[in-house]
């Protein structure tokens, strides 16, 4: 029984690690490059509060943007579901009441951590919470832009769809987390300048809309092959799928970085409504 539990845990673990190490670091590095002076100071002061969290006071947000994936297996086990939102495969729209009924999903997590960041921190507990909130926010904004983190409930965000990728055994979720980035040569810090030079024409500042965008991408591109047939376990995926997906991952990484910067800049200047879940 213990072995079965372990195998199940290994199977689902990648669902909560969008983009892998390289992608998450790139998202946060893009954000750091687009911070206002006031926001950069806010981030620097908040990172310094890591002294009360785990002793890490390094002024480098990018290096801490994978921390949330480790934290969910340690002190913050309650944050596992905060990395994604799952929708029934037979539904074409997100229903927040249905899909986040326990208020335990990625949109709620982003609002929660924005609220913590927007609150004064006096006690050691509050300072530790604020330091964690910045790390969580950086990670979750990356997650919400990975299409398979807003995708089908039944296949665990693509984890249960076993594929062959250029001769290598993988699954659909891992393809979008890691394999596509590796094939495209995207890594941190090597690809940072390339992504910073991408044209960003974006005025969408609604976090729920970001989630809907990813859901649409998952259904239109991630789950379908280039003949628009639904991918199934046992399928082979290769160059044509990669060529179609490559501009999407570049777009999503770039948008995630700029949108994270928007949130931090607006937080720092006091213009952000952190209660975006309430109309």
Q: Where do the structural domains in the chain lie, given as residue ranges?
A: 19-269
SS3 for 186?
A: coil
What is the structure's pLDDT at 18?
A: 73
What is the structure's pLDDT at 17?
A: 57
255 CB-side CA count, 13 A: 23
- Residue-wise pLDDT for 42-64, tens only, equals 999 999 999 999 999 999 999 99
What is the structure's pLDDT at 3?
A: 38
Which parts of the chain sit beneath pLDDT 50? 1-16
What is the structure's pLDDT at 12?
A: 40
Distance in angstroms (rounded) separating the CA atoms of residues 253 and 25:
10
Does a cis peptide bond (omega within 30 degrees of 0) precede residue 189? yes
114 CB-side CA count, 13 A: 26
Distance in angstroms (rounded) separating the CA atoms of residues 19 and 83:
12
Backbone angles phi and psi of 169, in degrees to 5: -75, 130
The CATH code belonging to domain 19-269 is 1.10.575.10
* In the block, residue with structure tokens 């952190």: 274
pTM of the model: 0.94
């Amino acid at each position: 029984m213990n072995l079965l539990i372990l195998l199940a845990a290994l199977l689902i673990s990648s669902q909560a690690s969008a983009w892998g190490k390289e992608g998450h670091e790139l998202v946060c590095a893009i954000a750091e490059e687009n911070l206002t002076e006031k926001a950069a100071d806010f981030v620097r002061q908040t990172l310094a509060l890591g002294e009360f969290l785990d002793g890490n006071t390094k002024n480098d947000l990018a290096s801490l943007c994978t921390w949330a994936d480790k934290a969910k297996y340690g002190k913050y086990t309650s944050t596992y579901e905060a990395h994604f939102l799952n929708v029934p495969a037979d539904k074409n729209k997100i229903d927040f009441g249905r899909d986040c009924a326990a208020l335990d999903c990625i949109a709620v997590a982003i609002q929660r951590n924005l609220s913590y960041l927007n609150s004064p921190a006096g006690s050691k507990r509050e300072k530790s919470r604020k330091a964690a909130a910045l790390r969580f926010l950086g990670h979750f904004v990356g997650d919400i832009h990975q299409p398979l983190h807003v995708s089908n409930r039944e296949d665990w965000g693509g984890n249960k769809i076993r594929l062959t990728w250029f001769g290598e055994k993988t699954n659909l979720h891992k393809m979008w987390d890691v394999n596509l980035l590796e094939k495209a040569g995207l890594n941190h810090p090597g690809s940072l300048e390339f992504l910073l030079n991408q044209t960003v024409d974006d005025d969408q500042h609604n976090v729920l809309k970001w989630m809907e965008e990813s859901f649409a991408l998952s259904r239109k591109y991630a789950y379908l092959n280039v003949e628009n047939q639904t991918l199934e376990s046992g399928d082979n995926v290769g160059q044509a799928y990669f060529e179609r997906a490559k501009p999407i991952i570049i777009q999503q990484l770039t948008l995630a970085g700029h949108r994270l910067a928007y949130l931090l800049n607006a937080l720092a200047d006091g213009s952000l409504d952190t209660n975006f879940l309430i109309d």
